[in-house]
A and B are shown apart, each in its own frame.
Chain A
Amino acid sequence: MAEAILEVRDLVKHYPLTRGILFKKHVGAVKAVDGVDVELFAGETLGIVGESGCGKSTLAKMLVHLERPTAGTIRYKGEDITTLSGRALKAVRRNIQMVFQDPYTSLNPRMTVGDIVGEPYEIHPEVAPKGSRRQKVQELLDVVGLNPEYINRYPHQFSGGQRQRIGIARGLALRPEVIVADEPVSALDVSVQAQVINLLDKLQSEFSLSYVFIAHDLSIVRHISDRVGVMYLGRIVEIGRDAEIYDHPTHPYTQALLSAVPVPDPQAREHRERIILTGDVPSPTNIPSGCRFRTRCWKAQERCAREVPLLAVPPHLESVEGPARHPSACHFAEEKHVVPSGPAAGDGGTGGAKSL
């Protein structure tokens, strides 16, 4: 197996809850990320899906060193970068960059596009000598599909999709190896989302990038990812290749999640089985004992309250040959087919028209 470019071990981020202004008293912690193990291989896209509050954004922030982990390690090419600071951290940052969710707040409204995309060079002057920067910025704009002449314009003169391209250009400026994209298209209109996804795809092969792609939209994650991790309440509950997760999910949460996704195919609504979960996600300050999904799980038994299921290939699936054999943190993991694979929904064949 290829060398992991990023290796995350037992990563934890707890935000302490305190009372009082002067004499702070600990009254608990928000366990945003609570023990994540994952690795990213060179050239691949790792998708992370989960609902709001599952800790996926906190994970992203720790990967790019915007948050310091409470515990655990992040290794970049074997080197532990978790505790780096100063010059060494700055050097690592060149290789791991981020694309943000909201194109309206991720660009400084007081700076021109040229200043925004060129800022990485000002911070890391060794990457590009002063004279060449303007040209480099224009090249970057060209690469992300923007007219290089826009270099003197301000962000508010651009649409959401174009702003996101500017953000991507900034992320690319230092020629990083890893890009962590946190919901990069969820603020965009449907017709513009596809443009940006295609751009990310194109850039990946052009610059041999590895992506960590974080999103709540399962269809988009499948489209872009080679492997997918499903997060629930601060942990990855199931991980595998895209077909393993989408076509052969074994964790009940993944199954419920996938079955709940509205599919743009009205045929599907009659014959589709939906797993409707009861209740809400528990608070991350008060995580259930044992399996954290058990409070909403229809399979939950006594054992689930006692024993924390580990993220590994379940013992009873060890012997199975095929895609069901992938890590799943469930004592009763079992394959269930939940994604309808009907006729192509969106390609507007002539066959449908005949029925009119």
Chain B
Amino acid sequence: MPATSYEAVMSAEPDTPGRLLDVRDLHVEFRTRDGVARAVNGVNYTVDAGETLAVLGESGSGKSVTAQAVMGILDMPPGRITGGEILFRGQDLLTMREDERRKIRGAGMAMIFQDALSSLNPVLSVGDQLGEMFVVHQGLSRKDAKARAVELMDRVRIPAAKERVGQYPHQFSGGMRQRIMIAMALSLEPDLIIADEPTTALDVTVQAQVMDLLAELQRELDMGLILITHDLGVVADVADKIAVMYAGRIVETAPVHDIYSAPAHPYTKGLLESIPRLDQKGQELYAIKGLPPNLMHIPPGCAFNPRCPMAQDVCRTDVPPLYEVNEQRGSACHFWEAAIHG
């Protein structure tokens, strides 16, 4: 009998010390009117305590869907998890009862969304919304919950927290709202935070404030952080390791320094070369030709092959496995050696 209760999971010792999350061969598809969209096609990644994993990808790469599956907030239907395991502290979340999973959300793992305004309830004060977690999960009184809410707002450095605790979401600026979202995610001190494009909607100066805050809190609380983003700059600033996704698969995974200095997959390479530089005025940009694939008709073989400058016949027929580049790196390219050196 596997330990599938909330208490058992939270006290369980995973096989690898410090390993929080282990996603294994996850498959997710969406049934739509026009067919089946294969959004996630065999994703593997791990997150340890105190580690930041950046999941990088464009629209439709499956980066958010994977995270939603991990959180257990995937819309089902139309979504369907068709295979794989999501091990949180060594226990498979997918075989767990819904009420047990619900307890893990919040206390075990929490999520920060891109659009803080629509993630907050406009008719409740932020204090009520922050306090709610304590009332529901820890049975605190309204008054104690409010005190904890002020504490949390202080922690995410919202100025004049005591005075502002009774205000409503629309009275806060975008950056402050995102801080409230962070405070809410942190309220039960989870082991793992999933941040889905947390700063995309923010201005660059505010973005820096929020990313700094998030990184600092993560260090302080020794949390695992999954940062989902399409921004190569944000990744370089905070990540420890990176998983690059394309068409529902991880095409490259590596420690952050390696991937920028020597990408081992033509897609990663193309992305890095296609972004303009801040420190010099460039000539013509390198542009990856074509478009990301339609998830209902993912090309056979390597999904990137129609856009890849290195594609050979084998790429059109054989799906590349995640080749081991070295102990810490993998690349799903038949010609990763050529990619890394060229």
Interface residue count on the A side (C-beta < 8 Å) = 59
- Whether B99 sits at the interface, judged by CB under 8 Å, is no
Stretch at the interface among A78-86, A127-135, A340-348: A340-348
Q: In whole angstroms, what is the CA distance A220 to B281 when docked?
A: 9
Interface string of B256-291 (1 = CB under 8 A from A): 111011110000011111111111111011111101
**Complex: chain A residue closest to B231, CB-CB:** A262
- Whether B292 sits at the interface, judged by CB under 8 Å, is yes
Instruction: Select A353's contact among B204, B238, B340, beta carbons within 8 Å.
Output: B340
Structural contact, B279 and A246, CB atoms closer than 8 A: yes
Known: A191-B287, A356-B258. 9 other contacts (CB 8 A): A51-B205, A190-B271, A191-B274, A191-B292, A194-B285, A262-B234, A263-B279, A264-B275, A352-B257
- In the complex where A194-B287, A262-B237 touch, is A257 in contact with B276 (Cβ < 8 A)? no
Q: Which residues on B sit within 8 Å (CB–CB) of A265? A: 236, 260
Distance in Å: Cβ of A203 to nearest Cβ of chain B: 13
Interface residues of A in 164-214 (CB under 8 A from B): 189-195, 197-198, 201
- Whether B173 sits at the interface, judged by CB under 8 Å, is yes
Q: Which residues on B sit within 8 Å (CB–CB) of A91? A: none
- Whether A152 sits at the interface, judged by CB under 8 Å, is no
- In the complex where A159-B291, A260-B205, A264-B236 touch, is A355 in contact with B281 (Cβ < 8 A)? no
- Whether B118 sits at the interface, judged by CB under 8 Å, is no
- Which of A222, A265, A350 has the most chain B CB atoms inside 10 A of its CB? A265
Q: In whole angstroms, what is the CA distance A190 to B231 when docked?
A: 8
- Whether B11 sits at the interface, judged by CB under 8 Å, is no
Q: Which residues on B sit within 8 Å (CB–CB) of A301? A: none
Structural contact, B258 and A345, CB atoms closer than 8 A: no
Q: Which residues on B sit within 8 Å (CB–CB) of A191? A: 58, 270-271, 274, 287-288, 292, 307
Structural contact, B205 and A340, CB atoms closer than 8 A: no
Q: In whole angstroms, what is the CA distance A81 to B237 when docked?
A: 46
Distance in Å: Cβ of A46 to nearest Cβ of chain B: 14
- Whether A20 sits at the interface, judged by CB under 8 Å, is no
Q: In whole angstroms, what is the CA distance A276 to B213 when docked?
A: 11
Interface residues of A in 268-292 (CB under 8 A from B): 268-269, 274, 276-277, 280-281
- Whether B207 sits at the interface, judged by CB under 8 Å, is yes
- Whether B206 sits at the interface, judged by CB under 8 Å, is yes
Q: In whole angstroms, what is the CA distance A349 to B238 when docked?
A: 22
Q: Which residues on B sit within 8 Å (CB–CB) of A348? A: 261-263, 269, 272-273, 340, 342
- The residues of A with any CB-CB pair to B shorter than 8 Å are 51-52, 159, 161-162, 189-195, 197-198, 201, 216, 218-220, 222-224, 242-243, 246-247, 256-258, 260-269, 274, 276-277, 280-281, 339-342, 345-353, 355-356
Q: In whole angstroms, what is the CA distance A356 to B288 when docked?
A: 27
Q: In whole angstroms, what is the CA distance A277 to B203 when docked?
A: 12
Interface string of B43-66 (1 = CB under 8 A from A): 000000000000000110000000
**Complex: chain B residue closest to A296, CB-CB:** B205
Q: In whole angstroms, what is the CA distance A291 to B263 when docked?
A: 46
- Which of B204, B212, B236, B282 has the most chain A CB atoms inside 10 A of its CB? B204
Q: Which residues on B sit within 8 Å (CB–CB) of A195? A: 287-289
Distance in Å: Cβ of B67 to nearest Cβ of chain A: 18
- In the complex where A216-B204, A353-B262 touch, is A266 in contact with B278 (Cβ < 8 A)? no
Instruction: Select B282's contact among A159, A223, A355, A356, beta carbons within 8 Å.
Output: A223
**Complex: chain A residue closest to B176, CB-CB:** A280
- Whether B16 sits at the interface, judged by CB under 8 Å, is no
